[in-house]
Amino acid sequence: MKRWTCLYALAVVLLGMSGPTQADEPRTFAAGLTPTRLIRVAPGGDDQTADGSVDRPFATIEAASRTATPGAAIRLAPGEYRGGATLTNLAGTPEAPIWIGSEPGGLRAVIRGGGSGLHLVRPQFVVVHDLEISGAGGNGLNVDDGGDFADADAAHHVACERLFIHDIGDDGNQDGLKLSGIRDFQVFDCVIERCGGAGSGSGIDMVGCHAGLIARCTLREISGTGVQCKGGTSEVDIRWSHFENAGHRALNIGGSTWHEYFRPPLDAGSVNWEARNVRAQRNVIEGSQCAVAFVGATGCVASGNTIVRPGKWIVRILQETRSGPKFQFGLCGDNRFERNLIWFERHAVRSGVEVNIGPDTRAETTIFAGNLWFAGDDPTRSAPSLPAREQGAIIGRDPMLGDVDAGDFRPRPGSPALHAAAGHVGVGPIGSELDEADETIGAMAGARD
């Protein structure tokens, strides 16, 4: 009970003190807009006689979606719906998106089973919200460009809000939320648990996605990776989220992708990357074999995160997609790991392997700066072995977290992680990096006396 109380407090801190300021409060493209038409779906509905009214609801999301026009909201009554629906070319407009979600103020509708719980193909200006998706054999929510890899406008402006996705697949590469070829997207306030199996599968898996924001999400008990950004993914921010035992690599910035799945398609005349300009900031990463992996990535940043009890490594720098006769891939390098608070245990993370470096990388170009390193079981052995010299590190000083065993990772007053004047953890606007005026290390402002 004590641990759950502290986890609740942690959630409050992530959503409040160390969350966004009013100036950079994340908003979806649909913020401030309201539906102009409601299309009702209910477990007792009838697709043959339905008109989408309260008295004559549809039985399935597919049938309801065929009547959806810009400004419509497909509203699911409480109850259970069979998974496996595929919605193709659902298109709203900037002024009139299309919404798919549960009735406001009630219980979440549950989508259970199916190959994918719900599959959106080439959506534009679509919001999926307030649904529970579980038991799918493949992916929970699958959103893609329908294989139109070269068309940057095939799938764009997609928002996922307040989804509970859990127990997806069980034997391999099955993902909670699969995004492929999506541009301009937001994923806010989602909880994703128990996805994949046998060391594969992700909570959120992005392949060739661009200009996105993942914020205030919880990823828990994932088999492979918590959040993965690969296949040419760029300009994505991951903020204010909680990773709890989220796979072998909690944050996999980059990865390994078959050549034909990159978006945009690989360029034979240029250097290609798995990930560029991905920024992971102010997250709590608890457990996992490795907290942060840079894999075939460049220009990426992990900053201001709180990392607690990684199982084997703190950081990995790897190259899994290599150049061949047709395409050239840049070697993983020119990334940054800054102002993170790392509370680890020496019996798990051995000296000399805090950072795991694979072959064919430019690990020495990684910038390490201003991190706090503390081995909770042996503070005198807190110093890490890094591929490049670190400036401004704090080594072996107790960050004075509230109660690590109970899940309270807020620094107490007097912690070296806190700037004397910091009452709030700052970040710059979305698409930027940490506010340099705030010297707080880690994801959270401190606990009060």
Q: Mind listing the pLDDT tens digit for each residue in 18-36? A: 444 434 578 999 999 999 9
Q: Average pLDDT, stretch 314-342?
A: 98
Q: Average pLDDT, stretch 64-85?
A: 99
203 within 8 A of 222, measured Cβ to Cβ: yes
CA distance 236 to 15: 20
Residue type, 248: H
442: left (phi over 0), alpha (psi -120 to 50) or beta: left
Give residue 425's pLDDT.
Answer: 42
Q: What is the dihedral of CA 81, 86, 89, 93, to 10 degrees?
A: 30
Tell whether the model's pLDDT for residue 13 goes beyond 60.
no
Give residue 444's pLDDT.
Answer: 85
Q: Where are the domains of the chain?
A: 52-406
Q: Half-sphere exposure of 104 toward its Cβ, with a 13 Å CA cutoff? A: 6
Give residue 438's pLDDT.
Answer: 63
Tokens of 196: 């994949």
Domain boundaries 52-406, CATH class:
mainly beta
Tell whether the model's pLDDT for residue 341 goes beyond 90.
yes
Give residue 217's pLDDT.
Answer: 98
Tokens of 311: 């199982």
Task: Report the candidate in 406, 419, 417, 314 with the shortest Cα–Cα distance to residue 368.
Answer: 314
Sign of the alpha-carbon dihedral angle for 125, 129, 131, 136:
positive
Tokens of 30: 């649909």
First CA to last CA distance, the chain: 23
Tell whether the model's pLDDT for residue 17 goes beyond 70.
no
Residue type, 142: N
Q: Each residue of 79-102: pLDDT tens digit?
A: 999 999 999 999 999 999 999 999
Please return the burial class of 252, using the count of CB atoms within 10 Å of its CB with bins 0-12, 13-18 and 19+.
buried
Tokens of 210: 């661009």
Cα separations in angstroms, 30 against 18, 142, 159, 277, 368 = 24, 20, 8, 25, 38
Cα separations in angstroms, 248 against 203, 230, 245, 313 = 12, 16, 8, 10
Tell whether the model's pLDDT for residue 432 goes beyond 80.
no
